[in-house]
Amino acid sequence: MSSNNRLQRPPGPNRTASASSFAEAFSIARRNLEDEISHEEPVSSSDIPSPALSSTDAPSTPALSSSQLATPASLATPFTEPQTPSLGDSGYDDDVADNFAFAFDIDGVLVRGGQPIPEAIEAMKVLNGENEYGIRVPYIFLTNGGGKTEEERCQDLSKQLELEVSPGQFICGHTPMRELADKYRGSVLVVGGEGEKCRSVAEMYGFQDVITPGDIIKANAATAPFRKLTDKEHANSRDLLERHGVEKLSDIVIEAVFVFADSRDWASDLQIILDIAMSKGGRLETRSETFEEGPPIYFSHSDVVWSAAHEHVRLGMGALRRIVETVFSDVTGGKKLETHAFGKPQVSTFEFATRLLQQWRSTQHGLVAHRRPLDTVYFVGDTPESDIRGTNAMDAKTKNTSWYSVLVKTGVYQDGTEPAYKPRAVVDTVLDAVNHGIEREMVRRRAKHAARDAKDQGGLIQKLATIHVQDCSS
Ligand SMILES: [Mg+2]
């Protein structure tokens, strides 16, 4: 295949993954996984992903480390490797990089304030073959953001980056929460996001009874004294008593709280989360005497700040998490509340990403991991505390694939400051990050070839020397 032909290939997905939905992929994977688990030994605690995280923002809790979650194996194994599509003699696309790939954070790297960062569009073109080597490089997206379905987020990103982005290459903060729908089959509280969006996402994930803060305020307006639901919010909020067939709110038990996306009303959401944290076993409008029996509280990530349209970073979900934990202690006479977080920098999220990337390489490019191992993943992010920290922790843990952290200067990280977690490389933009990764791979490839040639030549010289000795002795 000529370089020109490679460049003419339309960018973006070209195989089965774009045709099948994320939900379908999950459902197939879950069936396969159930089969797999039924034949497996239980996962021991030593197998549980647990990066060295500080006590302040790490879930030192069962969230990512015990039966509170679906098993770590299931979290880290969302997909099973599909059958390799038929691709001719080689079995894979020979113009695709077969041993490295990229993963990208979105906010502050590719997009800022809803607008694409100019270099991002060019970077995607380079990955899709518009580079001097004529190779295409597999890539996925891994964001802590959320608040919409994966399909909707991909549609937004496709418009922003001017290429097709498939749900098969996309993970957002709340994606792993999907795995908990089987565990919590009763009522759950879902917080954050625009209007009813997160309720819809949670129901799409399989949660059976999703309650929102609006439902609780509608049932008892005194819950949040300064919050008045708009007519639309009132109409959309559900009648809890009627829906549950009970006479009082204390008959409704919240099994778990999920903060899916950033709160649009911090005061009311804080009040309601704390009410449930202090309740008797999750019963609405009750108070525990010990403050030790509230249901688990999950945040889809713990980024304290993020890069939005404003010149300075904005407060994110991690800030709400800190406030919830701090105020809980204040109002309970010093009790400690341990909440749980998904997303970066949790290593389990990066393991989830590895599986997604393996599946994407296989379905999209015919690169099956055991024949074409993934040596290096370049992760490009703007936030040292989540992107770089998580990538480095994953790199330290993983045996087969190197995770290489690249920090860009277009988001949270401020040029000239010392990043809290040291990246392998610092570059100006995502385009520089992509070029850096590709160049590094090409240098490595050339070095490998040179070493092989030298070895071959060495072998030849040795052989000739042997022949010479033999000739002399004859
Ligand atoms: Mg970011």
Say what the pLDDT of residue 461 is. 72
The rounded Å distance from CA 142 to ligand 1 centre is 10
Average pLDDT of the residues in 232-237? 98
How many other CB atoms are there within 10 angstroms of residue 273's CB atom? 26
- Rounded distance, CA 254 to CA 258, Å? 11
The rounded Å distance from CA 296 to ligand 1 centre is 27
Say what the pLDDT of residue 61 is. 28
Q: Evaluate if residue 87 carries a pLDDT over 60.
A: no
Q: Evaluate if residue 253 carries a pLDDT over 60.
A: yes
Pick 214 or 62 by higher pLDDT: 214
The mean predicted confidence, pLDDT, of the chain is: 82
| Backbone φ/ψ region at 101: left (φ over 0), alpha (ψ -120 to 50), beta | beta
Confidence (pTM): 0.73
pLDDT digit string (tens) for 432-471? Answer: 999 999 999 999 999 988 888 888 777 777 766 665 555 4
The rounded Å distance from CA 340 to ligand 1 centre is 20
Average pLDDT of the residues in 266-285? 98
Contacts for 157 with CB less than 8 Å, ≥ 6 apart = 106, 110, 111, 141, 165, 170
pLDDT category at 68 given cuts 50, 70, 90 is very low
Average pLDDT of the residues in 54-60? 30
Average pLDDT of the residues in 418-422? 97
374: its two tokens: 């993934």
Q: Contact 160/116 with Cβ under 8 angstroms?
A: yes
Say what the pLDDT of residue 176 is. 85
Q: Evaluate if residue 472 carries a pLDDT over 50.
A: no
Triad 334, 420, 382: Cα angle to 5°: 110
Residue in this structure with the two tokens 């197939």, named with its chain if needed: 28
pLDDT category at 344 given cuts 50, 70, 90 is very high
Beta strands in 212-362 (DSSP E): 254-259, 297-299, 305-306, 314-315, 340-341
Average pLDDT of the residues in 334-354? 94
Q: Evaluate if residue 2 carries a pLDDT over 60.
A: no
Q: Contact 14/128 with Cβ under 8 angstroms?
A: no
Say what the pLDDT of residue 217 is. 98
pLDDT digit string (tens) for 4-28? Answer: 333 334 344 444 333 334 444 444 4
The rounded Å distance from CA 420 to ligand 1 centre is 15
Which has the minimum average pLDDT: 32-46, 213-227, 370-384, 457-471? Answer: 32-46
Nearby residues for ligand 1 (ion, Cβ within 5 Å): 105, 107-108, 382-383
Percentage of the chain modeled with pLDDT above 70? 78
The rounded Å distance from CA 100 to ligand 1 centre is 22
The rounded Å distance from CA 362 to ligand 1 centre is 27
The rounded Å distance from CA 245 to ligand 1 centre is 44
How many other CB atoms are there within 10 angstroms of residue 92's CB atom? 19
The rounded Å distance from CA 294 to ligand 1 centre is 32
